[in-house]
Amino acid sequence: MVVAVHAVKNIVIVGGGTAGWLTAGVIAARHQGRMKSGFTVTLVESPTVSIIGVGEGTWPTMRSTLAKMGVSETEFFRHCDVAFKQGAKFANWTTGAQGDAYHHPLMMPQGFTQMNLAPHWLAAEQVGTFCDAVSPQGVLCDEGLAPKTIATAEYDAMANYAYHLDAGKFAPFLQKHCTEKLHVRHVLADVVAVNQTDTGDIASVLTREAGEIAGALFIDCTGFSSLLLGKTLGVGFKDCSDVLFCDTALAVQVDYDTQDAPMASETLSTAQSAGWIWDIGLPTRRGVGHVYSSNHISEDQAHDELMRYVGKSHQRNTVRKIPIRSGHREVFWKKNCVAVGLAAGFLEPLEASAIVLVELSAKLIAEQMPANREVMDIIAARFNETTSYRWGRIIDFLKLHYVLTKRTDTPFWRDNLEASSIPDRLKNLLTLWKYQSPWFFDEFDRLEEVFPAASYQYVLYGMGFKTEVEPDENARSSLIAARMLQENTALTRKMRTQLPKNRDLIAKIHQYGFQAI
């Protein structure tokens, strides 16, 4: 008996924006060699639905993602209002007092793969911050320096970096690259119906302008509506507002005082009475937004806090209100449909996790692309397990920022300290970390951890967490640690003299461009 094998060759992505076009680009680039034998990537995008367009922060993974897609970093800077991001600075999160701030940089601590320096720093007489002791990047950000020079090749780095970008310009830029260079078929049409097979798979989408579009694998990038996975296949939503309280954002674009005003080389996150304000510097403007809990503060009060932060005279456009429903789908891949981006879920943008989740999901789909329908459910199960793990770890990490606070000045901060709002895994780790510093074995053992042990160290010790450590009596270990700390001091000094200002380098990129790979 011959069993029919249904090859997976026609990939249909429904929805554009950053999620849709990144996913299309990653899959098309990975499978370019199959295009001649009939492999296709089609993106169906509504001509009437606008994108959310405020996700302006990325992770360093974006560099390899764009490089693999064949995108020129120079052209990326020139067309998407791009700036360098070297981490995040958190102000007023610990005590709310003047000067309360710490960095979460993108560089690993000095010698991180060889030795955990945190216990040595904790055991010594601590002078300065943990970040400055083990990494030069906090100093680079404080001084507004770039992570490389104009002589550094595209995507290479002297200090690890990601990007700040204009999401409204990024999607059209990706669209042009995907359609012209990667042979992605672009269909501008509104989906009016979703057709299913007898087994429940999605057979096709019916569009008003382009008729029926069939596929073997459908990727839902329809945003909050989750037209395919949520509405058609009935996959439920797992709410996590009991852990992460912020449910609304007010976003606004802000002008610089002058065209040559200093530009931050990191995302600024400033805690407020019932949430926090992001501040992202692009070459032509700043993107600012107040993320808050509507159960703890009114919209008028949140608006007033935002205006006090930006100053009414600097406001460029009207304030946009964006609902945040913290949580994610119960599964991310069902039948022959997988959700990416907002269709999969959303969390407050505290650590820029939205776009990196798109990248990781697209990469996993591209690399594990099922050869046929017969193996798809196996791959779907693996995808769901990996993606559920990632969402859970991000929720833990975001909550960490709240549970370490010493603020008790408002109900919002006090409620975040309630044990019932803290995930059990995070509770267990916090207990463990009272006696040993975060390290690779603390369940940070997956490939491509979104937030590795180093990220937890930066937040814990940036917010004054105390780990009781015994002095290391191993003379050799102590000498190696001392040498590494000295090497970081020397590296910091060297980078401060070699690296240009953030804005100066971006001006040179626009004028001269980077050396191509």
**b/e map 284-314, b = 16+ CB within 10 Å:** ebbbbbbbbbbebbeeeebbebbbebbeeeb
The pLDDT tens digits of the residues spanning 71-100 come to: 999 999 999 999 999 999 999 999 999 999
Catalytic residue among 9, 85, 89, 363: 85
Length of the chain as a residue count: 517
CB 402 within 8 A of CB 326: no
Site of tokens 């955990």: 116
Q: What is the predicted pLDDT for the residue at 6?
A: 80
Whether 10-56+166-241+326-390 and 247-323 share one fold: the answer is no
Q: Quick one: which of 47, 77, 228 has its CA closest to 150?
A: 77
Q: What is the predicted pLDDT for the residue at 296?
A: 98
Distance from chain centroid for Cα 67: 18
Q: Torsions phi, psi of 106, nearest 5?
A: -95, -10
Site of tokens 């429940």: 200
Domain ranges of the chain: 10-56+166-241+326-390, 247-323
For residue 43, give the H/E element and its range: strand 40-45
Instruction: Calculate the dihedral angle through the C-alpha atoms of 405, 410, 416, 420, rounding to the nearest 10 degrees.
Output: 130
Q: What is the predicted pLDDT for the residue at 55?
A: 58
In the sheet with 10-14, reading across from the earlier edge strand, the strands are 185-188, 40-45, 10-14, 217-220, 337-339, 333-334
CB 351 within 8 A of CB 456: no
Pairing of strands 248-254, 286-292: antiparallel
Q: Using the Cα atoms of residue 455, residue 457, residue 462 and residue 464 in order, give the sign of their dihedral.
A: positive
Q: Quick one: which of 365, 354, 382, 379 has its CA closest to 26?
A: 365
Which residues, 6+ apart, have CB-to-CB distance to 39 below 8 Å?
A: 9, 10, 11, 31
CB 467 within 8 A of CB 122: yes
Burial of 123 (0-12, 13-18, 19+ CB in 10 A): middle
Cα R_g (the chain), whole angstroms? 23
Q: Which CATH superfamily is domain 247-323 in?
A: D-Amino Acid Oxidase, subunit A, domain 2 (3.30.9.10)
- DSSP state, residue 57: B
Q: Which residues of the chain have pLDDT under 50?
A: 1-3
Distance from chain centroid for Cα 471: 37
Catalytic annotation on 169?
Answer: no
**b/e map 238-249, b = 16+ CB within 10 Å:** eebeebbbbbbb
Distance from chain centroid for Cα 27: 19
Residue 146 in 3-state DSSP? coil
CATH fit for domain 10-56+166-241+326-390, picks 3.50.50.60, 3.30.1460.30, 3.30.1360.30, 3.40.50.920? 3.50.50.60
